[in-house]
Structure formats: structure tokens, C-alpha cells
């Protein structure tokens, strides 16, 4: 089985269940060491996200708000939004394992492991949607994460933008969502949402940490200082750290962020 060829096919599968089944078979082959890494392979430039025929894609500003989380509609909107992030993260991890060639085997092992985690997170959330008589694709979504994969074509920029910025932002946002949920009257569904988000938050720290490791690897390979991180984020997200609120200092430290970086983001002494 050819590694890059098979991974390209998986990335283009539009049905989530089929994509997951194909990945699981592929991942077993990878773990068994029976995949062949082609010496020359030109990556496919994907023009549309794999979920384009499942979800209605709209601008981020128009995505349904998650105001009243005590209602079925509010809960569906919240769970669907997180499920979409996780599904997008599956393709982001797979694309990271596909697009950048000639790297240590551990790099590919790391991002395929991340994809496996994101699949599990997605399945957890779609199970909750099913309990609410809903499913993935029922709520309109944005494609900001897919656009990030299109724009970041070097390992250095991909590792800076995807795990160390976009995914790390989730380390800040999820605790705020959890705080809001914990203040609501307890119901079975609210407790289940909290439980799932707590698992996702804990495991996302490891994903950001993997991104940190390979970001620093890319910096060393390109002979640049890791301080280039903020230049890269400024390039793609000019307002990125100007609006930073409730920076999750502990989680980001565990994920590899330095005290200097955290101080810049939080705009105060943090460690």
C-alpha cells in the first residue's frame, strides 16, 4: 500500500463513516510498518473541503449562535459547532501527514495519532447529536480551518498556524464554554456535554504540544528563531493576539509555549 496515494484518497472521501473506516484500515497498516513511502509524490491541491456536500458552508459571522444552552436548539448548535471543528481537524491532521514529505517517521506517527483522536472526538459528539435527533450537517458551518490548510504550504507555517494558533485557541475557549455550562441547571445532556468537552480539552493539549515540537523542528531546519511565530500569525491573522482574552496559561505551558510568548499574549506577567 502506497502511503501518499492512499492518504490522498482518504482525504477526498466525502462520507464521514467511509472516511473513518478507510483511515482505520490505513492506520493499522501504518502501525504495522507495511506502508510504502513513495520517494517522489506530488501532493494534490484540494480545492474544496471534504464536507462540502454534507454541510451548508457560510461565513463565520453567519454561523448560528449558541445562546440558550438549556434548549435543544442551543445544545445542537453548540455540539455541532464543536463536532465540525473536530471533523475539520481530522482532515487538517491527515493533510499535515500527507503534504510534507521527507520528514522523520515520528512526524507522520504524530499526526496520524492526532487524526485518530479527532475521529474519536467527532464520534463522541455525533453520538450526542443523535441523542438530540440531529446529525452532522444539520447546522450550517464555516470553512475557516480548511482555508488555513490551503494557505499554509510550508511545514513552518502549518505548524505555527494550525496547532500553535488555531488549536491552541481552543485551549482558551473551551474552559469558558465549560464554565458557562457548569452554571446551568443540571440535566443529563448538559452533564454529557461537559464530560465530552473535558476529554477533548485534555487531549488537545497533547495535539498542540506535537505542533510545538514540529514547529521548533521546522525553525531549526530553516535556521530561523522560534520568535518568527508571531510574524507568521500576524501575516495570516493581523488581529490575532490583540483580542486575546482568558489565555489558558497552564494548558499552553504544558503544550510548549514559553513564558515570553505567554506574557506577550496575555499582556501581563504570567510566569
DSSP code of residue 71:
S
Residue 19 resides in a domain: no
Q: Residue 15: pLDDT above 90?
A: yes
Q: Residue 55: pLDDT above 80?
A: yes
What does R_g of the chain's alpha carbons equal in angstroms? 19
With 0.85 as the threshold, say if the pTM is over it.
Answer: yes
Residue 206 resides in a domain: yes
Lowest mean per-residue pLDDT among 25-29, 141-145, 235-239, 256-260 = 235-239
Residue 192 resides in a domain: yes
Q: How many independent structural domains does the chain possess?
A: 1
CATH code of the domain containing 123? 1.20.1260.10
Residue 193's domain comprises 51-266
Q: What is the pLDDT of residue 63?
A: 87
Residue 28 resides in a domain: no
Q: How far apart are CA 185 and CA 181, in angstroms?
A: 9
Confidence of residue 244 (pLDDT cuts 50, 70, 90): low
Residue 212 resides in a domain: yes
Residue 14 resides in a domain: no
Q: What is the pLDDT of residue 243?
A: 59
**152-161 confidence digits (pLDDT tens):** 999 999 999 9
- Which percentage of the chain shows pLDDT scores above 90? 88
**119-139 confidence digits (pLDDT tens):** 999 999 999 999 999 999 999
Residue 259 resides in a domain: yes
**165-216 confidence digits (pLDDT tens):** 999 999 999 999 999 999 999 999 999 999 999 999 999 999 999 999 999 9
The CA–CA distances, whole Å, from 106 to 97, 103, 248 equal: 10, 8, 28
**71-91 confidence digits (pLDDT tens):** 999 999 999 999 999 999 999
Average pLDDT, integer, range 90-112: 97
Specify the 3-state DSSP secondary structure of 57: strand
Long-range Cβ pairs for the range 207-210 (8 Å, 24+): 207/114, 207/117, 207/163, 207/167, 208/163, 208/164, 208/167, 208/168, 208/171, 208/251, 208/252, 208/255, 208/256, 209/254, 209/255, 209/256, 210/110, 210/111, 210/114, 210/163
Residue 27 resides in a domain: no
Q: What is the pLDDT of residue 242?
A: 59
Amino acid at each position: 500500500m502506497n502511503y501518499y496515494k492512499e492518504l490522498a484518497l482518504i482525504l477526498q472521501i466525502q462520507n464521514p463513516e467511509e472516511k473513518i473506516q478507510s483511515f482505520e484500515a490505513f492506520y493499522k497498516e501504518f502501525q504495522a510498518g507495511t506502508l510504502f513511502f513513495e520517494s517522489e509524490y506530488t501532493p494534490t491541491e484540494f480545492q474544496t473541503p471534504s464536507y462540502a456536500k454534507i454541510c451548508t458552508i457560510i461565513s463565520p459571522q453567519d454561523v448560528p449562535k449558541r445562546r440558550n444552552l438549556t434548549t435543544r436548539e442551543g445544545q445542537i448548535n453548540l455540539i455541532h459547532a464543536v463536532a465540525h471543528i473536530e471533523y475539520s481537524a481530522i482532515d487538517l491532521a491527515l493533510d499535515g501527514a500527507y503534504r510534507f514529505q521527507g520528514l522523520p517517521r515520528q512526524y507522520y506517527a504524530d499526526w496520524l495519532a492526532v487524526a485518530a483522536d479527532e475521529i474519536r472526538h467527532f464520534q463522541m459528539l455525533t453520538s450526542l447529536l443523535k441523542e438530540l435527533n440531529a446529525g452532522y450537517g444539520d447546522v450550517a458551518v464555516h470553512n475557516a480551518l480548511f482555508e488555513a490548510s490551503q494557505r499554509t504550504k510550508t511545514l513552518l507555517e502549518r505548524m505555527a498556524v494550525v496547532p500553535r494558533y488555531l488549536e491552541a485557541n481552543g485551549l482558551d475557549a473551551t474552559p469558558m464554554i465549560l464554565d458557562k455550562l457548569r452554571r446551568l441547571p443540571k440535566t443529563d445532556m448538559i452533564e454529557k456535554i461537559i464530560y465530552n468537552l473535558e476529554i477533548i480539552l485534555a487531549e488537545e493539549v497533547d495535539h498542540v504540544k506535537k505542533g510545538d515540537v514540529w514547529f521548533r523542528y521546522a525553525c531549526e531546519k530553516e535556521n530561523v528563531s522560534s520568535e518568527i511565530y508571531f510574524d507568521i500569525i500576524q501575516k495570516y491573522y493581523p488581529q490575532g493576539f490583540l483580542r486575546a482574552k482568558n489565555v489558558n496559561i497552564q494548558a499552553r505551558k504544558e503544550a510548549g509555549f514559553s513564558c515570553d510568548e505567554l506574557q506577550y499574549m496575555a499582556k501581563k506577567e504570567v510566569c
